[in-house]
Structure 1
Amino acid sequence: MDPNFTPIFIVVGAVIALFFFLYLLPVNLWFTAQLSGVKVNLLNLLLMRLRKVSPSLVVNAMIISTKAGLNLTSNEIETHYLAGGNVNNVIKALISADKANIPLDFKLATAIDLAGRDVFDAVQISVNPRVINTPPVAAVAKDGIQLIAKARVTVRANINQLVGGAGEETILARVGEGIVTTIGSAGNHKEVLENPDKISKTVLSKGLDSGTAFEILSIDIADIDIGENVGAKLQTDQAEADLKVANARAEERRAMAVAAEQEMRAKAQDARAKVIEAEAQVPMAMAEAFRSGNLGIMDYYKMKNIQADTDMRESIAKPGTGTTDKGKNQK
């Protein structure tokens, strides 16, 4: 190797070693912290690097919190960072809460942040209440008229209940339930239209914000529209249903009557069949009577005469036949 290149390698190696040393031991951050009045030593900064914690994030958070009058240690900030929290968001929330005289300590703020809620946004809602617009809520008064109401709910974040408290969806659901209950208990829809503030007073008196992360400040009815006449529609549907039931029962009775008629016809046909069968047995009985001597020839002729006389009487009795009709036709 050429001896002239040795100093170049030494210089390059020294520069790389210097950059590596400054990376592991951020002297510039330590110097900045000292100028800002933040007590942190170089060993802690080195240990942060080894624990894969960003020293600049911790130092900047300590500088901001110290300037704002917050007493936070590097261990607290580093622990929250390792737990997966948003350090900058927590610091901003603590500063905003302190300026707005909202009671919020570092432990509660980190708990809210780790719970998945935006702690800085919660502080902002505590300072500037948020207005939540409910979707259209349809309810029916006792007179059967449907009313569609829209409400505006003004809420303020309840810092102490952000962890484990219900969110906006619960507030909207409870307000909607209160609107439905109030309209449903009204005697007629005109009462609600004349006094919409009755809905607000009734809903507010129910304490709908209990167990939620918000405090309801006011509920204002933005709009009420008249919907369908649900009562009349239900009566119409009931009448149609009753008509269908009556038709079904009439069809059932008609079917039973047809079945009874068919049964009677079957019985009559059965009776006629029996008569025909009995008449078919008469000649056989007469022949047997002749053979046994119980019936003589004169008796047989008398019976035939009687039968002929009966047939003549029946033909005379039929309409359109007989001597009476013949006399009328001749006249």
Structure 2
Amino acid sequence: MNIENWIGIAIVAVIILIILSVFLRFVPVGLWITAYFSGVKVKIGTLIGMRLRRVIPHQIIRPLIKATKAGLDLKIDELEAHYLAGGNINTVIDALIAAHRANIELEFTQAAAIDLAGRNVFEAVQVSVNPKVIVTPDIAAVAKDGIEIIAKAKVTVRANIERLVGGAGEDTIIARVGEGIVTTVGSANKHSDVLENPDLISRTVLGKGLDAGTAFEILSIDIADVDVGRNIGAKLQTEQAEADKNIAQAKAEERRSMAIAQEQEMRAETQKMRARVVEAEAEVPLAMAQALRSGNLGVMDYYKMQNINADTDMRSSISDQANGESEE
């Protein structure tokens, strides 16, 4: 053979390899062989159809192989529909296998609905088999005697698969338990009653049916810790007394301000009256002069009036001096 023949054979071989690699990439023959020997009957055309529908075949076939080996009878169309809906095939298959081993009735449609609802269906099955303990934060409540009680509870719950879709979660359980603790402590006459019988809280809270409408079933509520907090009653009384004192001081200050204002007003009025008296006294000499000129007042009358004023001033001076000596 000449060089041209070798070049032609090489080109044909490369083309064949490219076509074969493209075919094997588009048609997962290896996955089909694995499924066939695992007992999963799937056609090559079905795998090609998955490629055309933009479905990754191994994300459907491998979970199906796992389910078949676990004894579950599932259809490829169901798995593919759930995949196209945005579900997690592996989580659903693991949940179905766990439920099948634990003798829990769980259908694929129900598991798929729980998965599409945003809940971890495999974890829910595990919690249904092995109950979960939820620890509440410190919850403060006040008894009728004003003493604060701080309690912490451990809530043992089991997942209720039938209520996983649309049921409330752990936060609702914690909130309801906290409400029950506050109600129970608040109805106690003395805080010592709660300290002596902490199981009173558990019995009261359990009797309220707190798991209604939730995705869990409450098995037990155990009070893990109970502490005595502040004397809220005494604190409120102290704050009330302080507030009353501030109000009284404010009212007293208001009365003092009003008294000062009235005093200043009276002083101003007195000054006005004195000014009027001074003005009137200033007019007396003018009036007397006018009376003397007109003949209505004689000179002797004027001297008598002056003597009377001098006598009055002397008597006033003697009286003031006598009062001062008596005080000494």
- Distance in 1 between residues matched to 2:223 and 2:50, nearest whole Å: 55
| Matching residue of 2:305 | 303
Determine whether 1:272 maps to 2:248. no
Structure 2 counterpart of 1:159, which letter?
I
- Matched pairs, number: 323
Structure 2 counterpart of 1:28, which letter?
G
Structure 1 counterpart of 2:159, which letter?
A
The answer to whether the Cα contact below 8 Å between 1:93 and 1:120 also exists between their aligned partners in 2 is yes
- Distance in 2 between residues matched to 1:221 and 1:164, nearest whole Å: 29
Deviates more, 1:274-283 or 1:120-129: 274-283
Return the offset for 1:205.
1.0
| Matching residue of 1:318 | 320
The answer to whether the Cα contact below 8 Å between 1:315 and 1:321 also exists between their aligned partners in 2 is no
| Matching residue of 2:30 | 28
1:81-120 to 2 correspondence within 5 Å?
81-120=83-122
Deviates more, 1:223-232 or 1:8-17: 8-17
| Matching residue of 2:259 | 257
Structure 2 counterpart of 1:68, which letter?
A
**Cα offsets for 1:177-213 (capped at 9, x unmatched):** 1111111111011000001011111111111111111
| Matching residue of 1:329 | none
Of 79, 82, 104, which aligns to 2:81? Answer: 79
Structure 1 counterpart of 2:313, which letter?
D
**Cα offsets for 1:70-117 (capped at 9, x unmatched):** 221111111111111110110010111111121211111111111211
- Distance in 1 between residues matched to 2:281 and 2:6, nearest whole Å: 151
Ranges in structure 1 where 5+ consecutive residues have no aligned partner: 326-331
**Cα offsets for 1:149-188 (capped at 9, x unmatched):** 0110111111111112111111111111111111111101
Return the offset for 1:321.
8.9
Structure 2 counterpart of 1:67, which letter?
K
Determine whether 1:5 maps to 2:7. yes
- Distance in 1 between residues matched to 2:316 and 2:123, nearest whole Å: 112
Q: Secondary structure at the match of 1:224?
A: strand
Structure 1 counterpart of 2:232, which letter?
V
Return the offset for 1:27.
2.6
Structure 2 counterpart of 1:163, which letter?
V
Ranges in structure 2 where 5+ consecutive residues have no aligned partner: none
The answer to whether the Cα contact below 8 Å between 1:90 and 1:119 also exists between their aligned partners in 2 is yes
Structure 2 counterpart of 1:69, which letter?
G
The answer to whether the Cα contact below 8 Å between 1:130 and 1:155 also exists between their aligned partners in 2 is yes
Q: Secondary structure at the match of 2:292?
A: helix
- Distance in 2 between residues matched to 1:311 and 1:59, nearest whole Å: 132
Of 183, 199, 202, which aligns to 1:200? Answer: 202
Of 169, 173, 176, which aligns to 1:174? Answer: 176
| Matching residue of 2:286 | 284
| Matching residue of 1:232 | 234
| Matching residue of 1:132 | 134
Return the offset for 1:281.
0.8
- Distance in 2 between residues matched to 1:189 and 1:289, nearest whole Å: 97
Q: Secondary structure at the match of 2:214?
A: coil
**Cα offsets for 1:223-264 (capped at 9, x unmatched):** 001111111111111111111111111111111122222222
Return the offset for 1:266.
1.9
Q: Secondary structure at the match of 1:318?
A: helix
Structure 2 counterpart of 1:316, which letter?
I
Of 4, 16, 24, which aligns to 1:14? Answer: 16
| Matching residue of 1:159 | 161
| Matching residue of 2:69 | 67
**Cα offsets for 1:3-36 (capped at 9, x unmatched):** 3221122222222222222222223322332333
- Distance in 1 between residues matched to 2:227 and 2:51, nearest whole Å: 64
The answer to whether the Cα contact below 8 Å between 1:140 and 1:230 also exists between their aligned partners in 2 is yes
- Distance in 2 between residues matched to 1:21 and 1:153, nearest whole Å: 58
Q: Secondary structure at the match of 2:68?
A: helix
Of 200, 221, 241, which aligns to 2:243? Answer: 241
Runs of 4+ deviating beyond 6 Å:
none
Return the offset for 1:51.
1.4
Give the alignment's TM-score, normalised by structure 2: 0.94
| Matching residue of 2:223 | 221
- Distance in 2 between residues matched to 1:321 and 1:94, nearest whole Å: 116
The answer to whether the Cα contact below 8 Å between 1:140 and 1:146 also exists between their aligned partners in 2 is yes
- Distance in 2 between residues matched to 1:82 and 1:172, nearest whole Å: 36
Q: Secondary structure at the match of 1:142?
A: coil
Give the alignment's TM-score, normalised by structure 1: 0.93
- Distance in 1 between residues matched to 2:119 and 2:128, nearest whole Å: 14
Of 111, 121, 124, which aligns to 2:123? Answer: 121
The answer to whether the Cα contact below 8 Å between 1:129 and 1:154 also exists between their aligned partners in 2 is yes
Percent sequence identity is: 65
